[in-house]
Amino acid sequence: MTTVLNPQKSLSVNPLKMSQPLGAALAFLGLKGMMPLFHGAQGCTAFAKVVLVRHFRESIPLSTTAMTEVSTILGGEDHVEQAILTIVDKYKPQVIGLLTTGLTETRGDDMGRILKIVREKHPELASLPIISVSTPDYKGSLQDGYTAAIESIVATDYGPFASDEPPTVSMKPQVTVLCSSHLSPGDVEELKSIVEAFGLTPVMIPDLSRSLDGHLEDNPHTVTTGGTTITQLKQLNRSCLTLAIGESMRKSAQILEGRFGTKYEVFPRLAGLDAVDAFLWRLSQILTSRCDHHFPLVPNIPANLQRQRRQLQDVILDTHFYFGGKKVSLALEPDLLYQTAWLLTEMGAKIQAAVTTTKSPILESLPIDNVTIGDLADLEDLAAGSDLIITNSHGTALSKRLQAPLYRMGYPIFDQLGLGQRCLVGYRGTMQFLFDVGNILMEEEAKHSPATLH
């Protein structure tokens, strides 16, 4: 069992953590026709926007209630109301994600009451879903804010179908897939196609693969053009199972179980042979379990996945030379840390140090004795002598100082291309990770080999 160290420090040096509101906004961006709205002073939104734009290289819709000194003293109702009206008028969103910030939480704005007043005053907004979530940035991290937003998304009642909006009918059983913050748009895409390959209809929450994957639209747009639709959210009750990807999605899955009685299963990670095997095996059971048990069906695993599995086994063989015995230090959010640390361990690498951002039960089962909730200065102290550092782009300087190569994961990554589509889960994604990291380690070995020294 891993010991979680949480030193209470006065000073954070080179923060690893990003704010809850940023995480919530990211989750909201996986809904179609979405405009996230920060209830706070304008700077929080501007910073969040810069981070997301630089990471995904996409235009990112975000807006602010633009609280000022005066409105902070008097209360923010007017600003929330005005912001919602302006957004509806200018951007015509299908849904608004309203999130709080440190400022408005400290002040104690009661969002439920404010929204109620706005709704009473403006009956014309009746059909517009507004998902509200509390995300003070003096608590938690990006992953926590993201998770809180997902919990709000699945807890919100989107009302019945409108007459002009027929529910999508499908012969295939529907499953809800809850995607934790450690999944990139490319990961979500891969996950979706795997689930579909088993003859299932997945509802991804959130579906970043249609909003932040980086693609050209025909017309300019001001809200997200893809993602989970409100129609999909209205029929979550039809899912026969919830697949929660990432430990942080457990509570959201429980909320769905509470509301609709949908059973759930948590898959804390989806990289590495064992993890993917277990996931596919479970998927194959969903269809067969619906059949008559007197005539057991042979589980049907799609041929391309079976082939990918053999490829992965080959890749594991080819790459293991470079991983064996290597010391790796990681600073990542809990879900991503768990997935990555185990994959590396399964390849024969040693986890030298692990730093993370926030509490999570999953931290107790890492392949290392201690994990520190801390910052990049902690990583720098712990990582001396590592063969590889894995963290976000802020790790560039420390990796130079430690003379160890850096593999970038997490948020923000602002000095690398292709993050909208990078996929590191499933058999295919695992192979990608092994190639990426294997190449770095191989190059490093070549640098230090006797042949180059002479």
Partner 1 sequence: MKLTKGKINELLTQPGCEHNHNKEGQTKNKSCTQQAQPGSAQGGCAFDGASIALVPITDAAHLVHGSIACSGNSWNSRGSLSSGPMVYKMGFTTDLSENDVIFGGEKKLYKAIAEIIKKYNPAAIFVYSTCVTALIGDDLDAVCKAATNKYETPVIPVHAPGFVGSKNLGNRLGGEALLQHVVGTKEPPYITAYDINLIGEYNVAGEMWGVLPLFKKAGIRVLAKITGDARYEEVCTAHRAKLNVMICSKALINMATAMKERYNIPYIEESFYGIGDMNRCLRNIAAFFGDEALMVRVEEIIAEETAKLDVALAPYRERLKGKRMVLYTGGVKSWSIVSAAQDLGMEVVATSTKKSTEEDKARIKQLLGEDGIMLEKGSPEELLRVIEKTKADLLVAGGRNQYTALKARIPFLDINQERHHPYAGYVGMVEMARELDEAVHSPIWRQVRKAAPWEIWQQEHESLLNLEAE
Give yes or no for residue 385 binding ligand SF4 (CB under 6 A): no
Give yes or no for residue 210 binding partner 1 (CB under 8 A): no
Binds 19, which of partner 1, ligand SF4, none (CB < 5 to 8 A, cut-off by type)? partner 1
- SS3 (DSSP) at 284: helix
Beta-strand (E) ranges in 360-428?
370-373, 388-391, 406-408
Give yes or no for residue 138 binding partner 1 (CB under 8 A): yes
- SS3 (DSSP) at 377: helix
Contacts of residue 449, Cβ cutoff 8 Å, sequence gap at least 6:
none
Cβ 232 to ligand SF4 shortest distance, Å: 33
- Cite the DSSP H helix spans in 198-249: 230-234
Cβ 42 to ligand SF4 shortest distance, Å: 6
- SS3 (DSSP) at 404: coil
Binds 378, which of partner 1, ligand SF4, none (CB < 5 to 8 A, cut-off by type)? none
Give yes or no for residue 103 binding ligand SF4 (CB under 6 A): yes
User: 121 or 259, CB closer to partner 1?
Assistant: 121
Dist CA 168 CA 262 (whole Å): 19
Judged by CB under 6 A, the stretch of 38-46, 154-162, 357-365, 392-400 that binds ligand SF4 is 38-46
- Cite the DSSP H helix spans in 75-141: 77-91, 102-107, 111-121
Closest CA to 236 of 137, 299, 156: 156
User: 106 or 416, CB closer to partner 1?
Assistant: 106
Give yes or no for residue 19 binding partner 1 (CB under 8 A): yes
Give yes or no for residue 44 binding ligand SF4 (CB under 6 A): yes
Of residues 221-260, those binding partner 1 (CB under 8 A): 222
User: 67 or 149, CB closer to partner 1?
Assistant: 67
What would the 3-class secondary structure string for 142-208 be?
HHHHHHHHHHHHHHCCCCCCCCCCCCCCCCCCEEEEEECCCCCHHHHHHHHHHHHHCCCEEEEECCH
Dmax over CA atoms of the chain, in Å, equals 79
Give yes or no for residue 47 binding ligand SF4 (CB under 6 A): yes
Give yes or no for residue 94 binding partner 1 (CB under 8 A): no
C-beta of residue 333 within 8 angstroms of C-beta of residue 142: yes
Binds 408, which of ligand SF4, partner 1, none (CB < 5 to 8 A, cut-off by type)? none
Dist CA 450 CA 454 (whole Å): 6
**Cβ-closest position to ligand SF4:** 43
Contact mark string toward partner 1, 30..69, x via CB under 8 A:
-------x--xxxxxxxxxxxx-xx--xxx---xxxxxxx
By CB atoms closer than 10 A (0-12, 13-18, 19+), residue 424 is buried
Which member of 43, 159, 361, 418 binds ligand SF4 (CB under 6 A)? 43
By CB atoms closer than 10 A (0-12, 13-18, 19+), residue 65 is buried
User: 33 or 102, CB closer to ligand SF4?
Assistant: 102
Instruction: Count the residues of the shown chain that bind partner 1, applying the rule CB under 8 A.
Output: 65
Which member of 41, 233, 316, 379 binds ligand SF4 (CB under 6 A)? 41
User: 43 or 361, CB closer to ligand SF4?
Assistant: 43
Cβ 101 to partner 1 shortest distance, Å: 6
Closest CA to 271 of 204, 345, 177, 356: 345
Give yes or no for residue 3 binding partner 1 (CB under 8 A): no
C-beta of residue 387 within 8 angstroms of C-beta of residue 404: yes
Cβ 41 to ligand SF4 shortest distance, Å: 3
By CB atoms closer than 10 A (0-12, 13-18, 19+), residue 400 is exposed
Neighbours of 397 (CB within 10 A): 13
Cβ 56 to ligand SF4 shortest distance, Å: 20
Given the rule CB under 8 A, which residues bind partner 1?
Answer: 9-15, 17-19, 21-22, 37, 40-51, 53-54, 57-59, 63-69, 72, 78-80, 82-87, 90, 101-103, 106-107, 136-139, 141, 216-217, 220, 222, 394, 397, 414
Given the rule CB under 6 A, which residues bind ligand SF4?
Answer: 40-41, 43-44, 47, 102-103
